[in-house]
Structure 1
């Protein structure tokens, strides 16, 4: 089963909107402090805007979204966690219990998109100080768990949003399962996908 390329709505949500939300968080935190805005914050936000303008131009031209440059799923998730840590100050631990392959299995890109969205939700909505990403395999299944120590999330009462619905749809279309539920402190997101054979070459598109 090949992973379908992301739709325009998915690319806008996962790219531009996520980056703008993080920029808003960074700006809100800076405005809450006394004194002028740090010059380095302005430089950082300018770089982010330049990147997203380039991304929008790519979408308008119909170019494909670039795949993660890392050689496999665990390293791509570690890079995403490190990036979000540097922007938000939230401590994100990635625990990988899969055997190193240096390749992407067929459903790994779907897992990457879903876990990345879960981490962005943690950043935007949870007020968490710590988050954890666990990656493991069980027989022919890939299991990813994202948890945080934030204020919690109740899917049955919180208003629905595009990102969560899309996470469920991607998991279902890949023959997998997604569960979002409160845990002892915060929220836990569990993703289970079929573990397809490792692909030759680079990231599946």
Structure 2
């Protein structure tokens, strides 16, 4: 009885940061799934969902940051938690910026220039989210494999990106060059952030092992 009293009223609140990060990752995965449905499946509602931030990525970021700031003890390195929260947030912001730019440049979702890269991003997101899920079930080697799959996905995307940029360099259409360079670069940035997040995930699993 005394022990439960101490735990309830004296000891600092324990926060399951692994669960919080997995929840954040799942929301980012939902946003990337909307990106895929918007540009690959040409679903207009999914495009709107990204702009309206229906998945509340900002709210989950603020919740996790507040918990981190108020936590007396964390089961994981505090800086590692902060890095992942920031990187996941950056991914959400970059996706929203991509859709806003595509809309401003009057680029239809059916534009084939971006579909292949978005498919790679979706697969990266699948592996990253799976990595966070496996982190909760304490499978370090599986998490490391998931992180490597995200990095491999980035390398594959960069190869496609280089091919697209090389083709673009042969064009004489300045508007096409400008808009596609901007949008392709934004997709590459999203993929890069997914890779950086995977590196931080691997950093956490090493420290927890």
> Which TM-score bucket, shorter chain as reference?
under 0.3
- Structure with larger Rg: 2
Q: TM-score, normalised by structure 1?
A: 0.28
Compare relative contact order (CA 8 Å, sep 6+) and give the higher one, 1 or 2.
2
